[in-house]
Amino acid sequence: MGPGGIATIIAAASLFVLALAVAYAVFRISRFIDEAKLSLKVFTDETAPLLSESTKTLELINSPLESFAKITKNVEEVSTKVTDATTGFMDKNGAAVKVAGALLGAAQMSKGRKSKKKTV
């Protein structure tokens, strides 16, 4: 056997070792992909019920909030109507409002005098 035959045997052995290394890498990668697929399936199976439960919880929370929004809107409408009615009354009966204000001021002043007399 000459130098070319020995070189051929060494080259063939090296190619065989490379082929084994590539086959081992492919085998390990396929097992890794199988494990990743299994992990993803387990994750998906555990996450789906959690998402549906959280969706239901949000629906239960939003229901009273919608009612609260309706109540707030109704209160806003009532306060707007009271403001409009008060403004209309003051515009039409300005003198009556002034007299009522004067009477209210006089009543508060007389209360103040009574409390001063009691403390003295």
End-to-end CA distance of the chain: 136
- How far apart CA 49 and CA 42 sit, in angstroms, is 12
Is pTM beyond 0.85 here? no
Number of structural domains found in the chain: 1
DSSP one-letter code for 120: -
**pLDDT > 70: percent of the chain:** 92
- How far apart CA 21 and CA 29 sit, in angstroms, is 12
Which residues, including other chains, have CB under 8 Å from residue 97's CB and lie 6 or more apart? 89, 90
> Who has greater pLDDT, 16 or 114?
16
How many CB atoms are located within 10 Å of the residue 97 CB? 14
- How far apart CA 61 and CA 17 sit, in angstroms, is 64
Mean of the per-residue pLDDT values for the chain?
Answer: 86
**Residue 14: which pLDDT band, with cuts at 50, 70 and 90?**
very high
Helix, strand, coil fractions of the chain, as percent rounded to 5: 95, 0, 5
| Residue ranges making up the domain that contains 55 | 3-119
